[in-house]
Structure 1
Amino acid sequence: MPTFTAFTTLSDKSRAEALGEALEGVTPEPTGVGVFEIEDGSGTWEVGAYFIEAPDEIALALLAAVHQAAEFVVSELPEVDWVAKVRRELSPVRAGRFYVYGSHDADTVPDDVEPLLIEAAMAFGTGHHGTTKGCLEAFDALLEEGTAFQNVADIGCGTAVLAMAAARVFPETVLASDIDQVAVEVAEANVAANGLVGRVHCVEAAGFDHPDLSGRAPFDLIFANILKGPLIDLAPHMAANSAEGGYLILSGLLVDQADEVIEAYAQSGYNLVRRAEIVEWATLTLIKAT
């Protein structure tokens, strides 16, 4: 079955959201519509739609004009078995003591690692992305220094790979949360596949807005591999839910966004412990001042 995409950009959030809503009413109908801010500091918003029939390019042009957006770029995607493609192209990743792999690579798992199984169909957040690998390496660095944690949370957990890494090395139950229920279900499936049911507890929540999270605070380690904007917004909430002397491992950041995040967290009482970069992505390790 062919798939068509249509993408445009504009510089105003409200107009982008209005265009996204209007796209849902075009004929043929899109199977999905997305509106998000491009994380490059430009203030640009991207609006996209996916179709299983060729979209009406005249209707798209009219919508772009009405909402003062750039002309839609329409493309037809080739038919691809994406799971098979991911299996071919995503090799296992070692990040310190952690080894992230798919079931098709189960025979490659070394004896001296903490294994983390993530299926190819759930590939985002597997460790192949520089931000996830950076977080795992930052966590491993703290472990190498002899740091131990009893109360850990993974905010914006995605596949829950970071929460599972913590559960692999500490006996206490780790809390994992995501704002998206589908992500929570993916996290729960991964937890089960790794034999960690009861060791990682997954909840749907925005930030710390869940009784299971507020009831467990303060945390002595919090992972948050999300985006610059949400990280900055969460800074005071992190401080409210973090123990004195507690650590944060933050990523989802482009290298040139890291200083702004460091400053936001300094204002909330955190000091930078370590900054690492993998290609264009930065990972920050912070500690809350005592």
Structure 2
Amino acid sequence: MLEGLPPNGATHIMRVSAPEREARGIADLIAESFDPAEVATAAFEEGESWAVEVYFGEAPDEANVRELVRIVAPQAADAAVFATLDKKDWVAASLEGLAPVAVGRVVVHGSHDRGRIAPNRIGIEIEAALAFGTGHHGTTQGCLHAIVSQAKRGKPRRTLDVGTGTGVLAIAAARLFHRPVLASDIDRVAVVTSRENARLNKASAEITFLHAPGLGAREFRRTGRFDLILANILLGPLKGLAKPMRPLLAPGGTVVLSGLLAPQAMSALAAYRAQGLRLKRKRTIEGWTTLELSARQQRPVRRG
């Protein structure tokens, strides 16, 4: 996985080896401890162990980073290696170890695996660079599962992807539904990146991209309500979006929330229940929870 909003031209890298559980924990803790616009983390299998790589936009406080590693893996902290990174090399380095991720017919992959995608699959090529969302993180996978499940139930007339990042969710919705998608992000780099990814994945015709903070821009209301709203962000922003999001949801529509550590899920759910939404399904993948909500009463919750 590669998480965060990697800095343009990262200059420094930290690398450490650890067992899988500890490696994932290190990557998650560091990602939570820094501004995602300045730091990105990657955890991946490497031989019989796992490796963690952290990319920094400027020289990090090495002692502080080692202490974060020590919290999760005390024996690995002193073995962490710090180095400078040539601008031209960091994207290639971040892609090492990232295998394709398959969810239903959708396969998210990097350019290095382009030739391995079967013709009957929907291949979405996303490079681990510049914006959040490669498909390898539990939050993105949870949202992809929700999109694939929605496709089996029926195609939404309109989809909204809030905090689109790389655009991977918007692209998946466009490729599966062949219906209009509005993708927004507060970060201009993410909007530029997602627009280019949509072009490369032949999904530009269905997706409109918008640079906007929150949900107050009139473009969100111009085309009518949305049958599916996706928001893979963080707990704080998700809670703040609950009230302005509700009028944008079509009757019987579905809201998919992610970016939530498992213990945070109930806090997010409470904010949306206060707006009249009900839990439809909850998925937890690698400690990250995705919630599917609806404005109408649903059958008992399934867990998976």
TM-score range, shorter chain: 0.7 to 0.9
Deviations 1:86-120 (A, max 9, x none): 22211110012210011111111112221111123
Aligned counterparts, 1:273-288, within 5 A: 273-288=280-295
Tell me whether 1:128 sits opposite 2:117 in the alignment: no
Aligned twin of 1:141: 149
Aligned twin of 1:86: 94
Cα distance in 2 for partners of 1:149, 1:2 equals 43
For the 8 Å contact 1:2–1:76, the answer to whether it is kept is no
Equivalent in 85, 102, 108 of residue 110 of structure 2: 102
TM-score by length of 1: 0.73
Cα distance in 2 for partners of 1:191, 1:2 equals 28
Tell me whether 1:222 sits opposite 2:210 in the alignment: no
Aligned counterparts, 1:28-177, within 5 A: 51=58, 77-80=82-85, 81-122=89-130, 124-144=132-152, 146-177=153-184
TM-score by length of 2: 0.70
| Identity within the alignment, % | 40
Tell me whether 1:257 sits opposite 2:264 in the alignment: yes
Q: 1:2 to 1:191 in 2, by over 3 A?
A: closer
Tell me whether 1:200 sits opposite 2:225 in the alignment: no
Q: 1:175 to 1:84 in 2, by over 3 A?
A: same
Unaligned runs of 5+ in 1: 6-19, 21-31, 36-48, 58-74
Q: 1:271 to 1:108 in 2, by over 3 A?
A: same
CA RMSD of aligned residues (A): 2.7
Aligned twin of 1:270: 277
State the aligned residue count: 232
Unaligned runs of 5+ in 2: 1-9, 15-34, 40-55, 64-79, 298-304
Q: 1:51 to 1:135 in 2, by over 3 A?
A: closer
Report which of the two structures shows the higher radius of gyration computed on alpha carbons.
Answer: 1
How far off is 1:280 after superposition?
1.1
SS at match of 2:96: helix
Q: 1:79 to 1:34 in 2, by over 3 A?
A: closer
Tell me whether 1:231 sits opposite 2:238 in the alignment: yes
SS at match of 1:203: strand
How far off is 1:284 after superposition?
0.5
For the 8 Å contact 2:13–2:83, the answer to whether it is kept is no
For the 8 Å contact 1:102–1:118, the answer to whether it is kept is yes
